[in-house]
Structure 1
Amino acid sequence: MLKWIDIPPVWLLGFAVLAWLQVAHVPMGLSFGGTWADFAGGLLVGGGLVLMALAFAEFRRHKTTVIPHQEADRLITSGIFKRSRNPIYLGDALILAGLILRSDAVLALPLVPIFVWVIEKRFIIAEEDRLRRKFRMDFARYCEKTRRWT
């Protein structure tokens, strides 16, 4: 049961709730500036969703798991994975940043790097260790060509 709760969307939801709590209970009169923040936030959320959709399409095309705690059947290096080793997690971070901008949660902005750190420690390092053991040189070459967070 804990493995099904300990998944990135739940962490994203938790961080989004923290941002909402900041706006609701500790606004302190700070603001990003209205319309531009709504627009930028919308672009970030939309961009995050597009990244995630592209990554899910690659997982489906290669018939391997998208679930973080399971072992992958294949190493995906095509499509969006040519640009980023972790487009879904990058999408999560973009969505969080966008939600923070759209909700005017100025004091919650530091949650974005904290979220990235948690995701890296909680999921990415373990996933990359499994991929490194299973795909050895192929994964090493992939890591040389493709950055983790871009």
Structure 2
Amino acid sequence: MNAYRAKPLRYPWPPMLYLTGIAAAMLAGRIAALAPIPSPHPMMMPAAGLAIGLLAVTLDIWAVRTLMERQTPVIDSACARHLVTCGPFRFSRNPIYLAYTLFTVALGLISGNSWFFLAALISVTATRLVAIPSEERHLEARFGFDYERYCKRTRRWI
């Protein structure tokens, strides 16, 4: 298979999947609020959410910066120029998607809206089914054995 013909995605689905999940969780929280998240202290969950949100934003910036430094497109619909295995990509093959998931969970903890947890789960599943298989086919076609070796030593999420 020609590596350039095996583009990862025609449309950048993952950001749209997570944004749709976040919007749906906000709407669902207004229409049918679920039971609040139990907490021994009223500020414990928002503080944890803020910490997780900060971690998510830091991870996302680190991953995007690593891709840009290696002259590799950040947008999923473009052809990969280099196999990036450094920075956060040493620990996760999908650190940006991991950051999106953590950020969605953080919004749930900060707002006390349990719908965000369901949105995170649905977004992860949709990303896993819609985006990741075509991205992995593209990277395998483009980088072959090097990508296979990378997959063996680096987990997909964490």
With normalisation by structure 2, the TM-score equals: 0.86
* Larger relative contact order (Cα-Cα within 8 Å, sequence gap ≥ 6): 2
State the partner residue of 1:36: 44
Select 1:53's aligned residue among 57, 61, 74.
61
Superposition pairs of residues 52-71 of structure 1, within 5 angstroms: 52-71=60-79
Q: Which stretches in structure 1 are left out of the alignment for 5+ residues?
A: none
Alpha-carbon deviations, 1:40-81, whole Å to 9, x = none?
111121111111111011111100101112210100001111
With normalisation by structure 1, the TM-score equals: 0.90
Superposition pairs of residues 80-99 of structure 1, within 5 angstroms: 80-99=88-107
8 A contact 1:23–1:105 mirrored in 2 = yes
Is 1:79 aligned to 2:84, yes or no?
A: no
How far off is 1:107 after superposition? 4.1
Identity within the alignment, %: 29
Q: Which stretches in structure 2 are left out of the alignment for 5+ residues?
A: 1-9
8 A contact 2:104–2:117 mirrored in 1 = no
Select 1:100's aligned residue among 105, 108, 128.
108
Superposition pairs of residues 112-131 of structure 1, within 5 angstroms: 112-131=120-139
Is 1:141 aligned to 2:149, yes or no?
A: yes
State the partner residue of 2:14: 8
How far off is 1:96 after superposition? 0.6
Aligned residues: 146
Q: What amino acid maps onto 2:72 in structure 1?
A: T
* Aligned counterparts of 1:87 and 1:107: Cα–Cα separation in 2: 23
Change (3 A) 1:73 1:107: closer
Runs of 4+ in 1 over 4 A off after TM superposition: none
Kindly indicate which of the two structures has a greater share of residues assigned to helix. Answer: 1
Instruction: Report the aligned-residue RMSD.
Output: 1.4
Secondary structure of 1:49's aligned partner: helix
